[in-house]
């Protein structure tokens, strides 16, 4: 099986140019900010975030143009990393970690090759988790935490593969949505830091403000517009208007949900291996909600 899929390789050059331009512009902006800012911690965080974005872009673009098998593998790796971080935060038992990890590995490939079996195996995994909880004498709350993990991570993450497979527009739509979500996140961070304002949800995430919400919408529209143009994504006007709104709102909800999870267990970050962001779950928390919402928007 060849690595490159000839039906989507044509996206490689325009995507390289577009992301190269965005990363270059971002680097210039960060260097200017580093020269103006006095906060040494914030300077370091901005540089680390740019480095992480460069790595994420490189890996994502390769997986995108390499075809659905490689892309499914990337989704499985991300899902496993998120599952392990979630299990560490919530202190899941070894058996529960094993079941959730197997689901994280298998579900993206099921979505790729056998989507008709997706629901049945998700139900089987839920039954296994419930049985393990009952056998170990766990509380009802503890069992529910594991069941939430199944829906939150392997199942939601697998929707990226389903979106990738939508007719001929899947790859272009997916990368446009991912870029929209990423720039919404960046714009929210910048607007929030520069403009401050009233807190969005102070008890869950004290750093998020309503100006940050406004930034999310600006970034979502900008990111989706740039990538839709670069990939020649042809959509009706109503979808061009609605998709960035869905991206911004679902991304904020996903971000708040993960913040609520970490705050409930008194954790600052889900992990520490991704410079400037923390862990995998810290980076894809918004996308876990964004991608399924967009997928079902295009499924009707």
What is the 3 state secondary structure string of the chain? CCCCCCCCHHHHHHHHHHHHHHHHHHHHHHHHHHHHCCCHHHHHHHHHHHHHHHHHHHHHHHHHHCCHHHHHHHHHHHHHHHHHHHHHHHCCCHHHHHHHHHHHHHHHHHHHHCHHHHHHHHHHHHHHHHHHHHHCCCCHHHHHHHHHHHHHHHHHHHHHHHHHCCCCCHHHHHHHHHHHHHHHHHHHHHHHHHHCCCEEECCCEEEEEHHHHHHHHHHHHHHHHHHHHHCCCCCCHHHHHHHHHHHHHHHHHHHHHHHHHHHHCCCCCCCCCECCCECHHHHHCCHHHHHHHHHHHHHC
Determine the Cα–Cα distance for residues 57 and 54; give it in Å rounded to an integer.
5
Could you tell me the CA-to-CA distances from 96 to 134, 151, 258 in Å, in that order? Answer: 12, 14, 20
263-282 pLDDT per residue, tens = 898 887 776 666 656 788 98
Query: What percentage of the chain reaches a pLDDT higher than 90?
Result: 43
pLDDT tier at 182 (50, 70, 90 boundaries)?
confident
Q: How far apart are CA 41 and CA 169, in angstroms?
A: 41
**Domain boundaries, given as residue ranges, for the chain:** 68-165
Residue 207: the pLDDT is: 82
Q: Which residues contact 45 (CB under 8 A, 6 or more apart)?
A: 276
Highest mean pLDDT among 14-18, 110-114, 135-139: 110-114
Averaged pLDDT of the chain: 86
Q: Give pLDDT tens digits for 214-223.
A: 999 999 999 9
Q: Quote the pLDDT of residue 38.
A: 72
Range with lowest mean pLDDT among 34-38, 44-48, 76-80, 88-92: 34-38
Contacts of 84 (CB under 8 A, 6+ apart): 97, 101
Say what the pLDDT of residue 275 is. 63
Q: Which residues, including other chains, have CB under 8 Å from residue 272's CB and lie 6 or more apart?
A: 278, 279
Top-confidence residue, 135 or 270? 135
Pick the more confident residue, 30 or 286: 286
Instruction: Give the lowest-confidence range in 100-109, 146-155, 190-199.
Output: 190-199
Identify whether the C-beta of residue 153 lies closer than 8 Å to the C-beta of residue 96: no
Q: Find, among 90, 103, 243, 237, the residue nearest to 166 by Cα.
A: 243
Q: Look at residue 227 and tell me whether its pLDDT is greater than 80.
A: yes
Note the pLDDT of residue 203: 84
Using CA atoms, how far residue 192 sits from 73, 91, 98, in Å, is: 35, 33, 39
Give the per-residue pLDDT at 3. Answer: 42
Question: Rounded mean pLDDT of 173-178?
Answer: 91
């Amino acid at each position: 099986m060849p690595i490159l899929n000839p039906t989507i390789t044509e996206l490689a050059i325009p995507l390289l140019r577009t992301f190269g331009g965005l990363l270059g512009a971002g680097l210039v902006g960060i260097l200017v900010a580093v020269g103006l800012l006095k906060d040494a911690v914030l300077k370091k965080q901005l540089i680390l975030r740019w480095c992480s974005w460069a790595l994420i872009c490189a890996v994502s673009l390769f997986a995108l143009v390499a075809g659905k098998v490689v892309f499914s593998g990337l989704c499985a790796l991300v899902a496993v990393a998120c599952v392990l971080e979630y299990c560490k935060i919530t202190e899941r038992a070894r058996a529960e970690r094993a079941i959730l990890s197997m689901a994280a590995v298998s579900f993206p490939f099921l979505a790729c090759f056998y989507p008709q079996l997706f629901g049945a195996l998700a139900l089987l995994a839920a039954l296994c988790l419930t049985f393990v909880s009952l056998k170990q004498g766990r509380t009802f709350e503890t069992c529910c935490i594991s069941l939430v993990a199944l829906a939150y991570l392997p199942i939601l993450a697998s929707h990226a593969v389903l979106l990738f497979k939508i007719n001929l527009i899947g790859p272009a739509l997916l990368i446009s949505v991912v870029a929209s979500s990423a720039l919404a996140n960046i714009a929210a961070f910048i607007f929030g830091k520069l403009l401050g304002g009233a807190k969005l949800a102070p008890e869950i995430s004290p750093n998020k403000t309503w100006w940050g919400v406004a930034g999310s919408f600006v970034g979502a529209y900008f990111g989706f517009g740039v990538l839709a143009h670069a990939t020649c994504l042809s959509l009706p006007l109503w979808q061009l208007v609605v998709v960035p709104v869905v991206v911004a709102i679902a991304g904020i909800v996903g971000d708040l949900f993960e913040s609520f999870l970490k705050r409930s267990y008194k954790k600052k970050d889900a992990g520490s291996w991704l410079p400037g962001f923390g862990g995998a779950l810290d980076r894809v928390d918004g996308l876990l909600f964004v991608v399924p919402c967009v997928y079902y928007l295009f499924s009707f």
